[in-house]
Amino acid sequence: MPSQIAATLRTKAASAVPTDKYLSWGRYPKAAHEHVYRPAWSDQVPGIMQAAPSGSLLAYGLGRSYGDSCLNADRALVDCRRLNRILGFDESAGMLRCEGGVTLTDIVDVYLPQGWFLPVTPGTQFVTVGGAIANDVHGKNHHRAGTFGAHVQQLGLQRSNDGLVFCNRERNDDMFRATIGGLGLTGLIAWADIRLRRVAGPWIDAELIPFRSLAEFIGLSRESDGRFEYTVAWLDCFAGKNLRGIFFRGNHSAETRQTSPPKRGPKLPFTLPEWMLNRYSVKAFNELYYRVHAAKHGPSRIRYDSFFYPLDSVRQWNLLYGKRGFLQYQCVIPETNVAAFEELLERIARSGMGSFLGVLKQFGSAPAAGMLSFPRPGLTLALDFAMRGERTLELMRSLDEVVQQSGGALYPAKDARMSPAMFEASFPRWRSFVPYIDPKMSSSFWRRVTEAQ
């Protein structure tokens, strides 16, 4: 193609398009963006950055963050989904180089059949590499492998003032640690080198164990952490002090038999009416979920996608919560403070407002990979709440009190409403991160939690 035509096409691809389609996964808050840039080539990004006013841009991946950390209300987004090229793979070291818009699905689809898997994966594979680094996401193997950022060897960071900055643990180490978990504020992750891990095939030797108290859950976690790479639990949020749940643990199987790629599941076609999700329907679901899984008690060999990504089987399941959307509350509480954890569960049960997707996990003690990484030793709880206005927000503020007093923290990737004081309590050293912010970048989340301070 003559270079002039190619240049014209590139400019068009990078042009600004007004849109209201860019939401976060919780669909709350809803933000209007002034522009969305959709570059197709990484060499278009410097021009976009240079032309932008200060504090006006934010990278956007697949919008799988629940709240407003991927939104930039009244300003601009850079949609990174077309910057999705795999740039190279060194099979001797399992080292993958790819652009920031490559998704975890892309990586698994290409490399799992060759015997490689992600070193860390969150509970959905519909996440970009840039998003996984910017939130320094964690998975069911946090106690063994730490976070996603711990497996990033180096990255190319496009900055508005310094150009393309190459960073790793030796060179520009501060910028590297600021970018991991840096909420997209240090610049645009153009590419990253990620070390994949060897697996025999697509199977997980999994085991499922019902439990009936927090002490039992902690005992199961301790006993499993040495023997199992992956551990996590589902929790009945209506059980309060009579806690019950299902503990899942597993290892990559030695079985080498290949399977067909996961089928695209059904899609929820529209938002459900709010009345369908109430304390009675959720209680009934939880009862059924507990009974069905408790009956499956014991070991089994299952496909990796059923083990890691059960929610991905229904596309757009977030529409389940109705027009006003939903919030996820994810906190971590130091393990020494079990009483605080029980108080949290008690308040949730009393409110009757939690939903069926309660997840409990014990984080390990791996040092944080990034300056603002969320995981730290303790118990982490993640629970969805349908947005029902002020009473939902009031419940969350009452949960904040417990988390703050316990010395715990909230996860920005899941947050849409924490106060500046709660952010300060969760990340007391956030001010030392500020010098690394790119002058052209900002986000709705960042303005909300820092502008008053």
Ligand X SMILES: Cc1cc2nc3c(=O)[nH]c(=O)nc-3n(C[C@H](O)[C@H](O)[C@H](O)COP(=O)(O)OP(=O)(O)OC[C@H]3O[C@@H](n4cnc5c(N)ncnc54)[C@H](O)[C@@H]3O)c2cc1C
Residue numbers of the site for ligand X (CB under 6 A)?
Answer: 25, 58-65, 69-70, 80, 100, 122-124, 127-128, 130-132, 134-135, 137-139, 183-184, 188-189, 311, 413, 443
Minimum CB distance to ligand X, residue 31 (Å): 13
Select 290 or 411, whichever has its Cβ closest to ligand X: 411
Select 343 or 415, whichever has its Cβ closest to ligand X: 415
Select 277 or 349, whichever has its Cβ closest to ligand X: 277
Minimum CB distance to ligand X, residue 230 (Å): 11
Whose CA is closest to 22, among 55, 71, 58, 74?
Answer: 71
Select 129 or 239, whichever has its Cβ closest to ligand X: 129
Give the span between the Cα atoms of 83 and 74, in whole angstroms. Answer: 24
**What 3-state DSSP class applies to 61?**
coil
Q: Which two tokens stand for residue 179?
A: 């970018």
Q: Which two tokens stand for residue 291?
A: 């009974």
For 188: left if phi > 0, alpha if psi spans -120 to 50, otherwise beta; the answer is beta
Give the span between the Cα atoms of 424 and 422, in whole angstroms. Answer: 5
- What amino acid is encoded at 39 in this protein? P
Minimum CB distance to ligand X, residue 223 (Å): 22
Select 349 or 427, whichever has its Cβ closest to ligand X: 427
Question: Looking up tokens 């200060």, which residue turns up?
Answer: 54
Spell out the residues 6+ positions from residue 12 whose beta carbon is closer than 8 angstroms to its own. none
Minimum CB distance to ligand X, residue 162 (Å): 15
Select 63 or 202, whichever has its Cβ closest to ligand X: 63
CB count, 10 Å around CB of 14? 20
394 phi, psi to nearest 5 deg: -65, -40
Q: Which two tokens stand for residue 376?
A: 């730290």
Select 160 or 349, whichever has its Cβ closest to ligand X: 160
DSSP H helices, 18-103, are 45-51
Give the span between the Cα atoms of 322 and 327, in whole angstroms. Answer: 12
Minimum CB distance to ligand X, residue 80 (Å): 4
- What amino acid is encoded at 129 in this protein? V
Angle 220-203-368 (CA atoms, 0-180°, nearest 5)? 55
Select 75 or 138, whichever has its Cβ closest to ligand X: 138
Question: Looking up tokens 């947050």, which residue turns up?
Answer: 415
Select 61 or 250, whichever has its Cβ closest to ligand X: 61
Select 130 or 370, whichever has its Cβ closest to ligand X: 130
Give the span between the Cα atoms of 444 and 68, in whole angstroms. Answer: 6
Minimum CB distance to ligand X, residue 5 (Å): 27
Minimum CB distance to ligand X, residue 171 (Å): 19
Minimum CB distance to ligand X, residue 4 (Å): 29
Minimum CB distance to ligand X, residue 117 (Å): 16
Long-range interactions of 375-378: CB distance < 8 A, separation 24+: 375/136, 375/138, 375/142, 375/146, 375/147, 375/332, 376/332, 376/409, 377/334, 377/335, 378/332, 378/333, 378/334, 378/335, 378/337, 378/408
Select 99 or 400, whichever has its Cβ closest to ligand X: 99
Give the span between the Cα atoms of 162 and 21, in whole angstroms. Answer: 31
For residues 92 and 195, is the Cβ–Cβ distance under 8 A? no
Minimum CB distance to ligand X, residue 2 (Å): 30
Minimum CB distance to ligand X, residue 258 (Å): 26
Sign of the four-CA dihedral 189, 191, 197, 203: positive
